[in-house]
Structure 1
């Protein structure tokens, strides 16, 4: 690792096969915590390359615990690491989609640089993380949604979790999470914190056979924020979306900010599902849910998709799905 670190400090970039090999060795615990911290920090000093991203992704998918779940489902997930401290918008959108009758297989993790990743939220409500295929299949088939806690399925992610938490800044593992759902469902709605990363995702996903949308708000959010225009890449090209395209309001950063603790964010989470949130909190969830629905149904326009998502919330179907999952 010392030789490799010296090369990387001199702006050497890895081939796809070299990146693959390093990820395998990380999962085999061949490097010390100090070596790994140095390695992770390098990718905050320069952008990850397409070959590196492809190599790390291929390794994580090869190494992950395999699970046989229906692929005709969607994952909704962002990189995190945007430093915006929003509430759990993508996780809420997952329940909105399930409430609208779609199958959702969401992968998530504890927050490394925030107080409330999707795993923090579900753990706080008492959901039991598992790799039991029977249980996960039952959830997705009978409830409409299941959750894959990433460290249980990815040995390399588990190995670096304490280091990521100690660094408390985004690392290239933030980039990997959305790309390595073990099921690789047929539909994926991915969010990134900048346009460069969104474009890399686009290159990776183009030949994946998956229907996808990749979004990044131009003011730095890893999802549609309605605080600025959003750049979107999908199977059909790239375009800019504004709040008016959803028939929704333009919001401020304060409108969608989360709380200072998991308790605060849990309260917002339930308020959205129970119909007690602010209009802004509801609308940002509707926007992200709508783009995910359009990923599944490209012929539907976004305003139609907002109406479907709104019905899921207003009817309390999304809340009912959430309650069933927590009790499962």
Structure 2
């Protein structure tokens, strides 16, 4: 094993460069399963740092099959794992943003910790999740939206897959996966399952040249901007990191029944998405509008959150998103 693996065992943190070197070796199949488990467990026990996250993100992005997009393209991929089994808020938000002329390269996977991941619900919505890089580029050009199914783009993950499966718990890969867009996006809305990672995420994204990001975790535990409670936001913009809260009450939201956000299987979740795309108003539509508002700001189209939320709400209520969904399905 490399010297820095010994450093980890002594509880020492890796620098950005050391982390890059370690992840390079992991992604090139230099370790056997037992060693990979030992490395991932040692990192978790010590507590992963911003530099270790940044190194992992750098290597995963570097090794991914690349997709060419312009600098204003955004992603809405979060970590999942908040244990709330809610409807697919960030996936629905991505399609709404695309219908509002924001270019979205959505990165994601099938369900791991919930009943229905982004890939599952998009398949149920009859959207092609297996686009090749040139098809992703074409789809973004034509419809402002494309999905990149993570296993198709991160072939180097095959070296760590069996070890992660055997471990059966969260590792650093659950943190860096959502930040490792094959489209190398510079703008991102990221939901987090645990507040403690918000600042390190911002620092790691800054190290990887991200221009504007909202990293969110709500006080009711959701890895989304919540209509039920205040949401903590760490914003990275032009290398400056600041923190603030979004309070749904100040936006005139009076949602109370969290059960209405509960997801089920892919078919059910897809039906609920279609309802709000056709203009139905409920807790789900308000949740989506909040997260679309963040996307509008991160994309550079808006600067004021309240105004952004009002625009997103008005657009969702119009039913026009459903027409855009039909265009994406035609791809």
**Same structural fold, with TM-score higher than 0.5 when normalized by the shorter chain:** yes
Match of 1:200 in 2: 200
Q: Answer whether contact 2:66 2:133 (CA < 8 A) is retained.
A: no
Match of 2:143 in 1: 143
**Which of these residues, 301, 319, 327, is aligned with residue 322 of structure 2?**
319
Would the alpha carbon gap of residues 220 and 58 (structure 1) be closer, same or farther in structure 2, given more than 3 Å must change?
same
After superposing the two structures, state which structure 1 stretch, 78-87 or 3-12, moved more.
Answer: 3-12
Shift of 1:258: 1.4
**CA RMSD, 1 decimal:** 2.7
Shift of 1:289: 0.8
Equivalent residue pairs, number: 326
**Which of these residues, 282, 286, 303, is aligned with residue 283 of structure 1?**
286
Match of 1:264 in 2: 268
Q: Answer whether contact 2:51 2:204 (CA < 8 A) is retained.
A: no
Q: Does 1:175 align with 2:179?
A: no
Match of 1:221 in 2: 222
String of CA shifts for 1:71-93, please: whole Å, max 9, x gaps. 32211121112212111100000
Q: Give 3-state SS (helix, strand or coil) of 1:56's partner.
A: helix
Match of 2:312 in 1: 309
Partners of 1:167 and 1:154 in 2: how far apart?
A: 20
Match of 2:18 in 1: 18
Would the alpha carbon gap of residues 317 and 190 (structure 1) be closer, same or farther in structure 2, given more than 3 Å must change?
same
TM-score of the two chains, using structure 1 as the length reference: 0.87
Q: Give 3-state SS (helix, strand or coil) of 1:106's partner.
A: strand
String of CA shifts for 1:25-55, please: whole Å, max 9, x gaps. 2322333444434443445444311121111
String of CA shifts for 1:195-242, please: whole Å, max 9, x gaps. 221101121233525122111112322121223211112226211111
Q: Answer whether contact 1:71 1:186 (CA < 8 A) is retained.
A: yes
Shift of 1:65: 1.4
Structure 2 stretches lacking a partner, 5+ long: none
Q: Give 3-state SS (helix, strand or coil) of 1:193's partner.
A: coil
1:110-121 map, 5 Å: 110-121=110-121
String of CA shifts for 1:258-297, please: whole Å, max 9, x gaps. 12x3333233233332344x61111111111111112234
Would the alpha carbon gap of residues 299 and 99 (structure 1) be closer, same or farther in structure 2, given more than 3 Å must change?
closer
After superposing the two structures, state which structure 1 stretch, 234-243 or 53-62, moved more.
Answer: 234-243
1:36-185 map, 5 Å: 36-130=36-130, 132-161=132-161, 163-164=163-164, 167-185=167-185
